[in-house]
Amino acid sequence: MKKTLLYAVTAGMIFGLCFVGATLASADNGPADITLHSTIDKAKKAKPAVFPHAKHQAKLECAECHHSKGADGKQVAFVEGQKIEKCETCHNKAAGMPKKISTFKNAAHENCKGCHKKTDKKLTKCGVCHPKKK
C-alpha cells in the first residue's frame, strides 16, 4: 500500500512538473527589454533602440505590432503561435517596400512613432528609445 501511494505521488509530481514546464514554454513572450539594431546595414552604425517589450505586451496584443508576409509579398496578419521573424527579413531595401517602411529603421519609426503620436506624444522624442551613452 505504501509503495502504491509513493508511486502515485511521484507520478503526480512528475506529471505536474511536465505540465508546468510545457505551460511556461508555451508562454515564452521573449525578453522583457529588447535592444533593437540593424543587423544588415552595419556600416551606418545607427544608434540602437531600447524597446520595453514586457511593458508593451501588458497593454497590447502581439498582432498590433507583429505580422508576416505571404507568398505574394503582402502583409499577413499575425496568428498566435506563429514564428516571429526579424523585421529586416522583409523590411530591407532589396524587398521593394514603400520608402516609409523600406528599412527596419523606417518600419520601426512608422509603427512605434505612429502609435505613440496617438497615445503619448512625449514618447516620440528620439532620446526615449535611443538613450545617450553615459
pTM above 0.85, yes or no: no
| Residue 21 in this model has a pLDDT that exceeds 80 | no
Judgement on whether residues 73 and 119 belong to the same structural domain of the protein: yes
Judgement on whether residues 46 and 103 belong to the same structural domain of the protein: yes
Burial class (CB in 10 A: 0-12, 13-18, 19+), 14: exposed
- Domain span including residue 9: 1-29
Judgement on whether residues 50 and 104 belong to the same structural domain of the protein: yes
Rounded CA separation 41/105 (Å): 10
87, 108 Cβ separation under 8 angstroms:
yes
Judgement on whether residues 7 and 58 belong to the same structural domain of the protein: no
Judgement on whether residues 73 and 100 belong to the same structural domain of the protein: yes
| Residue 32 in this model has a pLDDT that exceeds 50 | yes
6, 13 Cβ separation under 8 angstroms:
no
Summarised one tens digit per residue, pLDDT across range 101-116 is: 998 899 999 999 999 9
Q: Is 82 domain-assigned?
A: yes
Average pLDDT in the 86-108 region? 89
Summarised one tens digit per residue, pLDDT across range 38-71 is: 776 666 667 889 999 999 999 999 999 999 988 8
